[in-house]
Amino acid sequence: MITVNLRPDLKRKRARSPFRGVLENVRGLGGNVKDPLLLASVVSWVAVLGWLGYVVVGTTAELNALEPQLEATRAEHKRFKAFLAEKRHQETIRDSLVSQIGVIRTVDGDRYVWAHLLDEVTKALPAYTWLVDLGNAVPAAAPAAPPAAAPAAGAAAAKPDTTAPAAFVSPAVQFEINGRTVDIQAYTRFLRQLEASPWITDVTPVSAQTVVEKERAVTAFTIRGTYRQADSAYIRTVPLSESVR
């Protein structure tokens, strides 16, 4: 293909690159700068400012992302704080009730000992047998305890634990029964029924001899036993009601 230049006085202009002007300006700036240290310091400051901007933007974004978690944690802290306060309040009420129940058991623990004994003896009493006396047994003289050995040198004395609540223990009441029967088999049946009672233990026949009462031969017997607290399975409670007029 033949191309004809109709205007020979004008030279063809080459297409300029868009980055050529920028490169020329940079070259001119480099030529204008006389001190290379000043240029290095300016570049360093620009890099530092750019890094600081990046850190500030990243930290702000991370803080904004953690704000919901912080609010949720605060709400959870408030909820658990209220729960712990309520738990301590309930524990205080429980300790107060346990202390009051302990005092009541200490006061009322031995009030119904003889009521249980009379009830159990009445249930165990067979036919043709009657009681003459029922009361505390005279305790036998206990042998003198040997002197305690001296503690070894350097051994620490054991101290009782005063923090544990003291459980009430029913007193060990020893009683003695004096009665009469016209049938020796009724006497042995009475012993067996007393031994089967959950409230009586250590039933021991002391004596049994024939005596004459009202011109009639009967067997006079003496029995000893010990009151004990029965298991909770044998204890039956009923509500106490009172009519108000």
Q: The CATH number of the domain where 218 resides is what?
A: 3.30.70.2830
Question: Taken in order 212, 216, 219, 225, is the CA torsion positive or negative?
Answer: negative
Q: Give residue 34's domain range.
A: 18-108
Cα separations in angstroms, 87 against 79, 96, 99, 227 = 12, 14, 18, 41
Rounded-to-integer distance, Cα 117 and Cα 177, Å: 11
Same domain, 131 and 91: no
Question: For residue 81, what are its two tokens?
Answer: 């704080």
Domain count, the chain: 2
Same domain, 44 and 102: yes
> Is residue 181 in some structural domain?
yes
Average pLDDT value for residue range 166-172: 56
Rounded-to-integer distance, Cα 188 and Cα 112, Å: 27
Same domain, 219 and 124: yes
Same domain, 104 and 125: no
Same domain, 100 and 22: yes
Same domain, 124 and 75: no
Question: Mean pLDDT of all residues in the chain?
Answer: 77
- Polymer length in residues for the chain: 245
Same domain, 196 and 218: yes
For the purposes of burial, counting CB atoms within 10 Å of the CB of 121, is it exposed (0-12), middle (13-18) or buried (19 or more)?
buried
> Is residue 152 in some structural domain?
no
Same domain, 61 and 129: no
| Residue with the larger pLDDT of the pair 175 and 109 | 175
Same domain, 118 and 225: yes
Range list of H helices, the chain: 20-32, 36-108, 113-124, 184-195
Rounded-to-integer distance, Cα 132 and Cα 178, Å: 5
Same domain, 27 and 104: yes
- Percent of the chain predicted with pLDDT > 90: 26
Q: What's the confidence (pLDDT) of residue 33?
A: 56
Same domain, 23 and 77: yes
Rounded-to-integer distance, Cα 151 and Cα 157, Å: 8
Q: What's the confidence (pLDDT) of residue 94?
A: 93
> Is residue 34 in some structural domain?
yes
| Residue with the larger pLDDT of the pair 120 and 145 | 120
Residue given tokens 């003291």 in the structure block: 166
Contact 104, 162 (CB under 8 A): no
